[in-house]
A = this chain, B = another copy of it.
Amino acid sequence: MSTFYRINSKSLTEICSDILRKAGVPDKDADIVAESLVDADLRGVSSHGVIRMSIYLQRMGRGVIAKNAEVKIVHETDSTVVLDGGYGIGQVVSQRAVELLIKKAENSNLSAVSVRHSNHFGAAAYWASQVLEKDMIGFVVSNVEPLMPPPGGAAAKVGNNPIAMAIPSDKEKPIIVDMATSVVPLGKILAAKSKGQAIPEGWAVDHMGQPTTNPDDVVQGGFLFPVGGPKGYGLAILVDILSALLSNGAVGTDIHSMYRDFDNPNDISHFFMAIRVDAFMDPKLFKASVDRYIQYMKNTPLAPGAAAIYLPGEIEANNKETNLTEGIILPQTVAQELQSFAEEAGLDPALIAELTGNPLHPEKANV
């Protein structure tokens, strides 16, 4: 009767990695992808978690994600790299980008890698966070297919391109911003539609570019709207420029939908930047100062009805602590999807059984 299952993150990582391996992804790369997806689930960002396994496998099957792409350096200086992802798996491309990013920053204090011909890389926050243990600030953006019109427009011209930045802290949790540049993701509009609810004004426009509160208008040819209108629009454009224009990658209609076009590679672009804290000050002092800033913010008097003040990334870090101990919660649909992939791939039945071995009463799932 349960519609949710709990599974420990190690087993889930092993299952996803094994499935990818059996699908032809090299061992090391399979681990990279599985770890990134499971990390999103650990952080409660299930939209970027193992739910993506299915689309990755479909696209690899169709040859529009290259399982074993050659990731090539197109151009480099002491501090910068232009990388060609060869239409490989986004996480594999991004892992290479981050390695180069850290190496360059170790030499040059500031470093940047602009990446073309890539695919969905999971959560941007995951990649921005990779530099934290080096006492660096990480900045990661990616473009995606056009989903938003410019203000005043009636066609999608720019993606709701995500922006992530990670700030190292000492005893407190690191500050990790990860935001799409639309007011909301499409998923929130689909959720309102499935419940028959209106959406707040400002979330989206119809196919004519006119504001609407009817989710059907959005699904039937309408568009997401940029957060803050010209502000989100401006930020989304900056992402296109840093990721795709600096790398000579794809923008606009040269990017193909991950979920609707199985004949062409997605062809998105990323941009990674690292800032070494010790190029400005002693990292110990900086991280203590970040801790004080976090405490200053958390000590804000609460508005009626508010339970606590959270820093960006704090709720996700709390989720991760909980889910590392108690296991990740998967909806039945996702658990069963993985189960069928795992069975096809001939994984160890004892491992497969873990997917649905721990049913959770829906009222406890809190998802």
Contacts and interface: CB of A to CB of B under 8 A. Distances in A.
Interface in A136-152: 137, 149-152
Interface residues of A, number: 77
Given A227-B231, A246-B286, A177 B238 contact: yes
A285 B165 CA distance: 29
Nearest to A230: B312
A97 to B, nearest CB: 13
A120 B285 CA distance: 27
Given A228-B227, A248-B281, A248-B289, A210 B303 contact: yes
Given A175-B237, A241-B290, A154 B300 contact: yes
Contact of A302 (B153, B277, B293, B301): B153
A285 B110 CA distance: 24
A235 interface: yes
Contacts of A109: 77-80, 108
Given A80-B279, A108-B110, 12 more contacts: A110-B273, A112-B279, A150-B309, A152-B303, A153-B306, A154-B303, A158-B297, A183-B228, A208-B303, A209-B304, A227-B231, A248-B281
Interface of A: 75, 77-80, 82, 108-112, 114, 137, 149-155, 157-158, 165, 167, 175, 177, 179, 183, 202, 205, 208-210, 227-228, 230-235, 237-238, 240-242, 245-248, 251-252, 273, 275, 277, 279-281, 285-286, 289-290, 293, 296-297, 300-304, 306-312
